[in-house]
């Protein structure tokens, strides 16, 4: 089972025309089972299922939680490089927005760091494609 929990990016793109399509195309292409998003509050969709906070979205999931973060947001000993990630069979992949730190990480959660050669803003729908392709390649 693959569950994806994401956070809409605040104010940088028009959600309906751009961001929703970026997420949706990848979700469909990789046959994700469950898709939850944290609402920006201005638009509510019937699909994906939306929650007011990331904590509430996570409470509605089951499986091993894997958080994806940009470099330097957590101590290195707490993170695994995405290339070394062993994908759980029943995975909950969690993506914050570029402006939101994922504060709901628990001790048994996996925290996966996505390194880039230079500074980069890691947008959820882009990272999602990388991770799901990696999962498929390692299967």
pLDDT tens, residue by residue, 42-64:
666 667 888 888 889 999 999 99
Q: List the domain range (segments joined by +) for residue 55.
A: 2-138
State residue 41's pLDDT score.
66
Question: Average pLDDT in the 95-99 region?
Answer: 68
Percent of the chain residues past pLDDT 90, beyond the cut = 40
Average pLDDT, the chain: 83
The pTM of the full predicted model, rounded to 2 decimals, is 0.88
We report the CATH number of the domain holding residue 16 as 3.40.1280.10
CA dihedral 56, 71, 26, 133 (to 10 degrees): -120
Q: What sign has the CA pseudo-torsion 27, 8, 96, 122?
A: positive
- Eight-class DSSP state of 120: -
What is the domain count for the chain? 1
């Amino acid at each position: 089972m693959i569950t994806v929990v994401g956070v809409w990016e605040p104010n940088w793109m028009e959600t309906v025309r751009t961001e929703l399509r970026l997420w949706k195309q990848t979700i469909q292409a990789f046959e994700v089972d469950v898709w939850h998003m944290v609402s920006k509050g201005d638009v509510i969709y019937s699909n994906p299922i939306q929650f007011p906070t990331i904590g509430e979205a996570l409470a509605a999931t089951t499986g091993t939680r894997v958080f994806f973060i940009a470099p330097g947001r957590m101590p290195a000993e707490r993170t695994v490089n995405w290339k070394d990630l062993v994908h759980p069979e029943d995975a909950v992949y969690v993506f914050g927005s570029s402006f939101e730190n994922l504060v709901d990480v628990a001790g048994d959660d996996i925290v996966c760091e996505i390194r880039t050669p230079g500074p980069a803003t890691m947008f959820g729908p882009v990272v999602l494609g990388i991770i799901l392709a990696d999962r498929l390649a390692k299967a």
